Amino acid sequence: MTWEAVIGLEVHVQLLTRTKMFCACENRYGGEPNTRTCPVCLGLPGALPALNAEAVAHALRLGHALHATFRPESRFYRKQYFYPDLPKGYQITQGAVAVVEEGWIEIPGDASVRGAEGPVRIRIERAHLEEDAGKSIHDADPEHTLVDLNRAGVPLLEIVGAPDLRSAQEASDYLKTLHHLVVYLGLSDGNMEEGSLRCDANISLRRQGETRFGTRVEIKNLNSFRYLRQALDYEIQRQRQLLERGELLTQETRGWDAQSGETRSQRSKEAAMDYRYFPEPDLPPLVLSEDEIAHIGGTMAELPATRKQRFQTEYALSPYEAEMLMQTRAFADYFEGLARESGQGKAAANWMLGEVSRTLNERAMGIESLALEPSRLAGLLKLVEGGQLNLNTAKETVFPALLESSDSAQAIVERQGLGQVNDRGAIQALVRSVLEANPQPLAQFRGGKTNLRGFFVGQAMKAGDGKVNPRLLNEVLDACLAEGEGRE
Ligand code: ADP
Ligand code: MG
Ligand code: ZN
């Protein structure tokens, strides 16, 4: 009997805004503990929250990117619980009455569980705005837990996915797609180590063909793609073993223990808290007009999925190449600048995924920090395309020189005398001298060892300092070899 995994993710995204969700404190990671605080985010009596319009705009941007619907009027609630890092005693959140509802994203489906290749749409139930809590620090003092409230009140968007995922691989692909989307759109820095994007996974199993859902378990704080995959694979095994023994699952919250590689029970449904939600009296409803929603949509950049598709058709690239070029928005922008200025899409893609990527990897930096503008690199591509420079010299000599100076490719080529030799007469003289200097290999070639042809190419290239136009060299060499044969 085969089992089907049913998975839905809840993803918390810290939004990139200048200030916090309900106050004017700076929204930035780290800092001297408890310095980015004020009466509002400290929860002092009488302090009044005011909603951050930038955070709302980000929620709308995400909504457009998810093809979602927008709730014209949504609210904020107080979700009440006691914890030292929650100074107000409640979190302000939209809960189930969310500004963004019913969206979807596409991921590559896992053929091993779906029985067919191809992309699948994963529905998104809602995305709602809320505020982050502070941070409890357990390891800084031997006797006390310390509290840092710099994070208290930082804007969050919680994205609740439908239970449409069917394997750990799909869950990981979904999270990667979502992560790429929010970073690409500038909604979040997506730094998972710093907690800018956090994930809880809900998982249940059911018999293949069954339409009802089984009892689910929620695994908290899966803050890397690897942990998410490992925890879900572990949990699928654990649940399957229980179910096959005829045991019932308990609805519970579990945690992932990376050290032991297992999930551990944290609390059961019976122990679940009642948060006593009630409407936040200090904030008016969030009312959105059609115009506002449309305006945000109209000012957004082309969506990643659309742009990737366009790269394939406009520049004749493979899906893989388009995907690689879309790794970050800055990288994709650089590519398009290079393609436009050089007039060559395919060559621009090759350079981006070849020399440019290699340089960025070696220097462990992003394209934003590369001291080489697309226009100067385009100059190099044009010299190669025009036959004034051979590709090897371009890669090995001129490209590194472009990185080290602010000169144009043309200037470097002229100064170092690197221009490609395109003069047929000069190449003929070169080939003849190589053949004369190598009578033995020539005799062997004529005796049938035709693979010696490569040897002559290499010798001629060397004699020409690598600057000989390779296409012409090959033509001339063949002509010379044939000519000799004719004489015999
Ligand atoms: P809660 O309010 O308890 O968090 P939700 O209905 O909001 O419950 O669902 C939370 C998450 O759990 C969603 O991402 C949803 O996709 C997922 N989920 C719901 N039911 C199941 C199930 N039976 N198996 C796996 N995931 C589920
Ligand atoms: Mg929930
Ligand atoms: Zn504040």
Q: What is the pLDDT of residues 6-44, one digit of tens each?
A: 999 999 999 999 999 999 999 999 899 999 999 999 999
- In tens, the pLDDT along 440-474 reads 988 888 888 888 888 888 888 888 877 788 888 88
What pLDDT, on a 0 to 100 scale, did the predictor assign at position 488? 43
Instruction: Identify the domain boundary among 268, 290, 312.
Output: 290
Domain assignment present for residue 317? The answer is yes
User: Could you tell me if 335 and 357 lie in one domain?
Assistant: yes
Give the mean pLDDT of the chain: 92
Final residue before a domain boundary, out of 290, 315, 335:
290
Asked if 232 and 248 sit in the same domain, the reply is yes
Same domain (yes/no): 280, 314: no
Q: How many helices (H) and strands (E) does the chain have?
A: 19, 16
The tokens of 463 are what? Answer: 């004699």
**432 pLDDT more than 50:** yes
pLDDT band at residue 278 under the 50/70/90 scheme: very high
How many whole angstroms separate alpha carbon 259 and alpha carbon 124? 32
Is 70 exceeded by the pLDDT of residue 308? yes
> What pLDDT was estimated at residue 77?
96
Residue 252, CB-side half-sphere exposure with 13 Å CA sphere: 13
Higher pLDDT, 452 or 381: 381
Instruction: Please name which ligand lies nearest the alpha carbon of 163.
Output: 1
Predicted confidence (pLDDT) at residue 218 exceeds the cutoff of 90: yes
Q: Give CA separation, 435 vs 80, 421, 424, 459, 479, in Å.
A: 89, 19, 16, 9, 12
Q: What is the mean pLDDT of residues 168-179?
A: 97
**Which atom of ligand 1 is found nearest the CA of 163?**
16
- pTM of the predicted protein model: 0.86
Q: What is the helix (H) or strand (E) element at residue 306, kind and residue range?
A: helix 304-315
CA of 381 to the centre of ligand 2 (A): 52
In the predicted structure, residue 374 carries a pLDDT above the cut 90: yes
What number does the ligand 1 atom closest to the CA of 214 have?
23
**3-state DSSP helix/strand/coil percent for the chain, to nearest 5?**
45, 20, 35
Domains of the chain: total: 3
Same domain, 337 and 451: no
In a domain, 487, yes or no: no
φ and ψ at 88, to 5 degrees? Answer: -75, -20
Q: Give me the mean pLDDT over the 397-424 stretch.
A: 86
Rounded-to-integer distance, Cα 84 and Cα 106, Å: 39
Residue 395 shares a structural domain with residue 431: no
Please give the distance, rounded to the nearest whole angstrom, from the Cα atom of residue 34 to the centre of ligand 3.
10
User: Is residue 202 domain-shared with residue 81, that is, in the same domain?
Assistant: yes
In sequence order, which residues have a C-beta less than 8 Å from that of residue 396 and are 6 or more positions away? none
Distance 10 CA to ligand 2 centre (A): 7
- Distance from residue 86's CA to the centre of ligand 2 (Å): 19
- List, chain by chain if needed, residues with CB within 6 Å of any ligand 1 atom: 6-10, 160-163, 202-204, 213, 216
Q: Both 408 and 470 in a single domain?
A: no
Give the atom of ligand 1 at the shortest distance from the alpha carbon of 162.
16
Number of Cα atoms under 13 Å in the Cβ half of residue 90:
17
pLDDT value of position 485? 60
Quote the domain boundaries for residue 223. 3-290
Q: Give me the pLDDT at residue 1, please.
A: 62
- Same-domain pairing of 277 and 329: no
Residue 138 pLDDT greater than 80, yes or no: yes
Mean local confidence (pLDDT), 368-384: 94
Positive or negative torsion for Cα 457, 462, 466, 469: negative
If asked whether residues 63 and 173 sit together in one domain, one would say yes
Q: Are residues 356 and 457 in the same domain?
A: no
Overall average pLDDT of the 133-146 stretch = 92
- Same domain, yes or no: 126 and 97: yes
Do 279 and 355 share a domain, yes or no?
Answer: no
List the alpha helices (DSSP H) in 24-167: 39-42, 53-65, 111-114
Six token digits for residue 356: 């440019």
- Please check whether residue 184 lies inside any domain of the structure: yes
Q: Is the pLDDT of residue 393 over 90?
A: no
Kindly give the pairing relationship between strand 135-137 and strand 155-161.
Answer: unpaired
Residue where a domain stops, chosen among 230, 260, 290:
290
Query: Which ligand 1 atom is the nearest neighbour of the CA of 164?
Result: 16
Give the span between the Cα atoms of 117 and 334, in whole angstroms. 32
As given in the structure block, the two tokens for residue 482 are 């044939």
**Residue 296 belongs to a domain:** no
In a domain, 312, yes or no: yes
Ligand nearest to the Cα of 213, by number: 1
Residue 164 is assigned to a structural domain of this protein: yes
Alpha carbon nearest to ligand 1 atom 17, residue:
8
Please report whether residue 297 resides in a domain: no
Inside any domain, residue 144: yes
Ligand 1 probe mutation, 160, 165, 202, 252, most atoms within 8 A of CB: 202
